Each structure stands twice: as structure tokens, then as C-alpha cells.
Chains A and B, each alone.
Chain A
């Protein structure tokens, strides 16, 4: 586990999928923790990332930016970042921004896992800058 009381991440690897369990507050101050966690995964050459928001209470715009920063590279290499198990309040932040169009956001972790297993990507277009 990395992080502190305010924000922490638990990292588990299940069937080649890197699962990140977020907890607490994800804002401009804590975003770098998530950033380095994802960086570590990509650095190891892995590209299947599942982010579980089950214990996350709050996300700010800087927190959202982290996913934007990586999604392009991850998808280029054939992987994906899937988001799952969001509390309604957190989901509404993603929703307002239009994230459901850009990311796989699933109600439960197992749905995302299933998608990884099948190699299914419901997001059809590629984000490229």
C-alpha cells in the first residue's frame, strides 16, 4: 500500500490485470501518488489497468487529469485503463465531464475484469493528440 491517511492506493495483480484500489481523497495534492503508481505499472511493460474507486470519497479535476495523461499511451500499446465501482458522487464528476464516452466505467470490478479477459473494448475510438 502506498499513500497516507488522506489518500492511499492498494495494488493487486489479478490475471495480468493491475488493479489499483483507491481510497480517500484524490485531488491536486494526492494526484502525484496515483500518477507514480500508474507510471510504475507502465514502466514494467504492463498495460492492463483496472482502477477500483470503491473506497474513494472525492475526486477533483486534477485527479481526473491523471487518467487523461496515460490513456493514450496505454491504448496505443494495446491495453486499457478501466474504471470501476464508483460511488454515485464520484461517478457524477466523471459523468459531467463526459468520461463515460472516453473510458470504460463499470459498476463492478468483475464486469471490467470480464472485459479484460475477453479483450473487449466498448470505447471504439482512439484518443490521440
Chain B
């Protein structure tokens, strides 16, 4: 039967109902003066039996799920119940003394009120007994193991049957033959053995904090004494409790005596365990404190990237686990200066006053292993320091902090007792210093990665800007159809293309590649755009524009930097164009279905001074026919690598153009992009790719 599902109020109502019926019946029996008859005994026994079942259910319902395993919460519940049970036993005891004092025993037979009082007392002691069982039950659950459930089942059900047997024996005295009596006694012994054997796991008591142990000690002592007294008085017979229990129900007396007897032994065991663990509790508590400090520290180390918070925590925990008075952490900068990075109960100013001569700092910096000064006033050097800033300090411990082999600082703790630090303190502080080293390392790594991330973002920003320097939309030109695209490599690059108008209004297509990659290339590219925009308006032809650009930029750019560029100028709507080149890749001219590389002479911009540059640049004239195509590109395209590190090569581009038929520039663009993807596969693109496709067609398909 699932006791949990039974509603509490229903049970309480049943109990109260039964009690009222019971008391009414008792009163009636008293009034008609039939209290001592067999009928009266039958009535009492039966009602008690019926009463005990809901009480039992009420107390034991849902217990298995209430506490699982050993936990702080289980401990809390346990202590709550222990307090309650002590109070209840105290009430029982007071009640007992009170009833004894008013000599209730002698009045029971001739006073209805006295009779009912004794019955309430008996009922109370029965309920208390069940409650004590419940407590022992809790205790068992508190340190549960595989066999606990089995023991609990025996205990609970065994007790229940024991109660029934006891009651039945008294109900039917004819049954009270030696065999039944022996069975009942054996059952009591069996249950007692089970209870005592399950209580052997009391080691966890040793882990309780000292104040709780003391509390437990007094409470269990109280329970042992009071319960012994009551059990003894039951054993003596003819006391008020005997009379009451006998008057309430003949079977109740052995049940209550049994439970109280068990509880005495049980609590005595608790008492002994606690008593035995008190002398060692200092060490155990200390170990627990160390453990919890280290655990907390580990948590902080793994969670926190905030250095100061971490160091503060370390000092605080160091004080907590060594019972230190004050402490601080000094960290050494790369340039050798020392910073007080965290302190407790002593501020930086005071530490500086204390160590005015920097003697302490010098000692700390030379530390290779932990230093313990048992008495600061007996130490030659330390005694000279200005200890008035912290007059209660007597001993000092200093543990060096290391990070990747370097000494990075020191953790210092002071305490109020001479010889106040022992080996354990050194050990725990060393463990702390290891953790701090890890934390410092971590925080440095995090900082690094944040910086890297920031750099990456700035690079992205730069890339976005350089992308915006390229034309968003190309102007439409009569009879010439231009399509361009730029595929930047991962880093910012220096590819540029544009269409500008020359002085005479002729459109000029510019393609350029700044040598190198990265920020510098991007900056030169931005500079180039400005230069192109302004110089185009003053130039009559592509060659002149390139000359002017070189003149302007030659002195402005770094020695090892240069810009290769080409200028393609559309001279008229009838297909006449000119092409000039400054060190740039050839132009590919698809003319009448044939493809040729157009390579006018020309040195890269920035490589040669004005005279040399101007002397060696030439311009070629081109005559376009319907469906002719001109392809401008940067070396990122022909030097595109595949997985075997082979170049795409200009030949592939020539082939692509040859096979493009009468494709419009959009179709050529998509073919080129497919070629790029197919060729490079998963190989990453190392240089920017920029392509400008110019097609001459009066009637574009």
C-alpha cells in the first residue's frame, strides 16, 4: 500500500474521531462502573488497535522519499527532528513528574477526569514511541546503503506485527500460551538486533562541525537519561506510566517499554560516537575547511577572468584555511616593480609603511620555496620592520607564486600566534599558490585571445572599408558592356578596379594590385583610389594617367612596395580602345575568336623614378569588333593554387575565353567563378582575385 497517497487530514480526522469514540466509551464504562470487566478490556484493546494503525500510517507515510542519502539537507532535517523529539521527551517527562506529583495513580479508579488524563498520557507515550521509531528510521536513511531499504522494511513491518501480536495476546488471554509469548519476545529481540545492526554506520558524525556535535552530544545525553528513567520506571511496575498504559490498553505497555529501551541503547551509541569524534574534530574541521577552500578556489579559478576578484578570493580563503590574521599578494611586473594586488585586513598603504625599507620585498623576491617565520620579533631582519601597523601579528608565512617557470609574485599570511603556522598551513598555501599560478596563466591566455579577437575585428572592419572603395555599381557605357568582381583573400588586400572619366570625357577602366597583403596594402589601395580620382581629370590618355600616378606615388610609397596597374581607355563607340600597362598582368584580348595576350611595355608604379618610368611605358591601340572581349585581371587569378600547389595559369583563362562563344559578360563572370571554385577545391585563396570583363557588342544578346 502506498502510504504517501493517503491524505493527511483524512488520517488526522479518523484519529480524532476514534479518540472521541474511545473516550466516550471509557466515560460510559466508568459511569456504569464496568471499567474492570472483560468487556471493558476488549473495548480498550480493540480501539487501541484500530487507533494505532492510522497513527502509524500518519508518521511513517512517505518516508522513503523524504531523505535520500547523506546531504546537508538531510542533516538539517535530522537535526530538526532531533530537536522535536527531545522536546517531546521532555514533555513526556514533565508530564510524568506532574502526574506523579498530584498522585493521579490513586485517583484513577474513582475519578473520571483522572482516568481520562491518564489515558491521554498513555496515548501520548504511545505516539511518542512511534515517533521515536520514526526518528531512528530517519537516522538509518541518513546514511543509506544498499541494504538499508531491506532493513527498513523489516523494521517497519516487524514493528507493526509486533504491536499487533502484543495487542492480540492481551486481547485473548487464552492465547497467552508460552509459545505465543516466546514468539512475541523473539520478534522483539529480532527487531532490536536489526535496529542496532543498522546503526553501525555512524562515521559521518565525525564530519559534523564541532558546534553541531556538541548539540548532538547534549541532546542524545538528555534522551538517554530521560528514556532510561522512564523505561526503568516501567520496569519497576506500578508507577503512573504503567498504570496509565495498562489502563489504556494492555498491549501498549510492552510496546512503549520496548521502543524506549531501544532508544536508550540507540542514543547511547550516538552519544559514544559523538564523544569519540570530538577530540579529533579540530583536525577534521580543519581538513574540511581546507577542502572547501580549495574547492571554492578552484571554482573561482575556473570561472573568473577578473584578476583582482580572483586574487582577493585567494587571500580571503588563505586566511580562512590557516586562521590567519591578515594577508596579501604581491605581483612582480616585467620591469621588476612590485604591486600589492590583493590584501585582507591590511591595506596597501600599511603594507608599504611596514616594509618601508623594502627588506621584506627583497626577501620575498629571493624565495624559492615557502618561508615560515615563527616569530617575527625574533627574526633578525623582520624584527626591524615597522610592525606597529599591525601590532597583533606574530608569525609570517610567504609562498612564492610561479607561472610558466617564472617567479611572478608572493602570497603572504600573518597570524597572531608565535609558532602559529604548521606544516599543514604551508601545504595548503602551496596548493593555493599553484592554483593562483594556473589562474594567472588562464587570465593571460584569455586576455591574449580577446586581443586577437579584437585584432580580427579590426581587420574585418578594414576589409569592409576596402571593399567599399570598389565601385558598387559600374556606369553603363554605349556598346561596351563591363562586368567586374573582386574576391578578397582572407586578409585585407590591395586589389582595386574602377571606371573613371578622363579629362576629355573618355571612360577609363583601371585595374590595380598593391604588392603585399594586409593593412599596408589596404592603406595604399585607399590612397591609390584618391590619386586615381584626382589625376584622371587631368589626363588625356591612359598612359598619361599612369605616368602621373607614378610621379605622384613614387616617392610616397615604401621601397619594397609597388603597385601594378593597367588603364583601358575607350576611345570611341566604334570599338577603338587603348591599353596601357604599368607592370600589371597582361590583358587578354579575344578578337575574332582568337585570344592574345596584350603586353605593352611598362614598369610597375613605384619601382622607377619619373624619367625611367615615362621612358618605358607604351600604349597599344585596339580595335574591337562585334562580340570581342577584353579581360583584365590581377595575378591572384592566374596564381590561384590547387591542392597540388599548381597555378591556374593564364592558359586556362585563354581557353575559357576561346570557349565562351558569344557569351555576355555575366555568363563569362559565372564561368570564371566556376573555374575558380572547381580549380581551387578546398585550397584557401591566398591572394585577392579581381577581374574586369569588357565586351564590345552593339547588340548584346
Residues of A within 8 A of B (CB): 28, 60-62, 64-66, 68-69, 72, 96-99, 101-102, 125, 127-129
Stretch at the interface among B409-417, B498-506, B602-610: B602-610
Q: Which of B555, B560, B612 contacts A68 (CB 8 A)?
A: B560
> B560 contacts A98, CB within 8 Å?
no
**Given the complex of chains A and B, what is the CA–CA distance between A62 and B583 in angstroms?**
14
> A64 contacts B555, CB within 8 Å?
no
Q: Which of A28, A69, A72, A128 contacts B517 (CB 8 A)?
A: A28
> B612 contacts A129, CB within 8 Å?
no
Contact with A along B562-606 (1 / 0, CB 8 A): 101000000000000000001111100000000000010111100
Q: Which of B516, B560, B564, B603 contacts A101 (CB 8 A)?
A: B603
Q: Which of A61, A65, A102 contacts B608 (CB 8 A)?
A: A102
The interface residues of chain B lying within 8 Å CB-to-CB of A99 are 603, 607
The interface residues of chain B lying within 8 Å CB-to-CB of A69 are 559-560
> A97 contacts B608, CB within 8 Å?
no
Give the tally of cross-chain contacts (CB within 8 A): 69
Q: Is the interface of A mostly helix, strand, loop or mixed?
A: helix
- For residue A73, give the distance in angstroms from its CB to the closest CB of chain B: 9
User: Is B554 on the interface with A (CB-CB < 8 A)?
Assistant: yes
> A98 contacts B515, CB within 8 Å?
no
**Given the complex of chains A and B, what is the CA–CA distance between A75 and B421 in angstroms?**
75
**Given the complex of chains A and B, what is the CA–CA distance between A92 and B74 in angstroms?**
85
**Given the complex of chains A and B, what is the CA–CA distance between A128 and B561 in angstroms?**
14
Select the residue from A28, A65, A98, A101 with max chain B CB neighbours within 10 A: A98
**Given the complex of chains A and B, what is the CA–CA distance between A26 and B85 in angstroms?**
89
> B560 contacts A102, CB within 8 Å?
no
- For residue B142, give the distance in angstroms from its CB to the closest CB of chain A: 68
The interface residues of chain A lying within 8 Å CB-to-CB of B513 are 61
**Given the complex of chains A and B, what is the CA–CA distance between A64 and B601 in angstroms?**
18
> B612 contacts A96, CB within 8 Å?
no
Size range of the chain B interface in the assembly: 20 to 34
Chain A to chain B contacts (Cβ below 8 Å), 16 pairs: A28-B517, A60-B639, A61-B562, A65-B559, A65-B561, A68-B560, A69-B560, A96-B584, A96-B599, A97-B564, A97-B603, A97-B607, A98-B601, A98-B616, A125-B608, A128-B609
* 9 tightest Cβ-Cβ pairs between the two chains A and B: A98-B603, A65-B560, A61-B515, A69-B560, A97-B583, A97-B604, A69-B559, A68-B560, A98-B583
Q: Is the interface of B mostly helix, strand, loop or mixed?
A: loop
Knowing A28-B517, A98-B601 are in contact, say whether A127-B609 is a contact too (CB < 8 A): yes
Q: Apart from A65-B560, A68-B562, what 19 extra A-B contacts exist at CB < 8 Å?
A: A28-B516, A28-B517, A61-B515, A62-B516, A64-B515, A65-B516, A69-B560, A96-B564, A96-B584, A97-B583, A97-B607, A98-B604, A98-B608, A99-B603, A102-B607, A125-B612, A127-B608, A127-B612, A129-B554
**Given the complex of chains A and B, what is the CA–CA distance between A98 and B433 in angstroms?**
64
Knowing A28-B517, A101-B616, A129-B555 are in contact, say whether A68-B607 is a contact too (CB < 8 A): yes
Residues of B within 8 A of A (CB): 513, 515-517, 554-555, 559-562, 564, 582-586, 599, 601-604, 607-609, 611-612, 616, 635, 639
Knowing A72-B559, A97-B583, A101-B616 are in contact, say whether A61-B635 is a contact too (CB < 8 A): yes
The interface residues of chain A lying within 8 Å CB-to-CB of B604 are 97-98
The interface residues of chain B lying within 8 Å CB-to-CB of A102 are 603, 607-608, 612
**Given the complex of chains A and B, what is the CA–CA distance between A123 and B639 in angstroms?**
30
The interface residues of chain A lying within 8 Å CB-to-CB of B560 are 62, 65-66, 68-69
- For residue B670, give the distance in angstroms from its CB to the closest CB of chain A: 28
- For residue B488, give the distance in angstroms from its CB to the closest CB of chain A: 16
The interface residues of chain A lying within 8 Å CB-to-CB of B609 are 125, 127-128
- For residue A119, give the distance in angstroms from its CB to the closest CB of chain B: 22
The interface residues of chain A lying within 8 Å CB-to-CB of B601 are 98
**Given the complex of chains A and B, what is the CA–CA distance between A127 and B513 in angstroms?**
22
The interface residues of chain B lying within 8 Å CB-to-CB of A62 are 515-516, 560
The interface residues of chain B lying within 8 Å CB-to-CB of A65 are 515-516, 559-562
> B583 contacts A96, CB within 8 Å?
yes
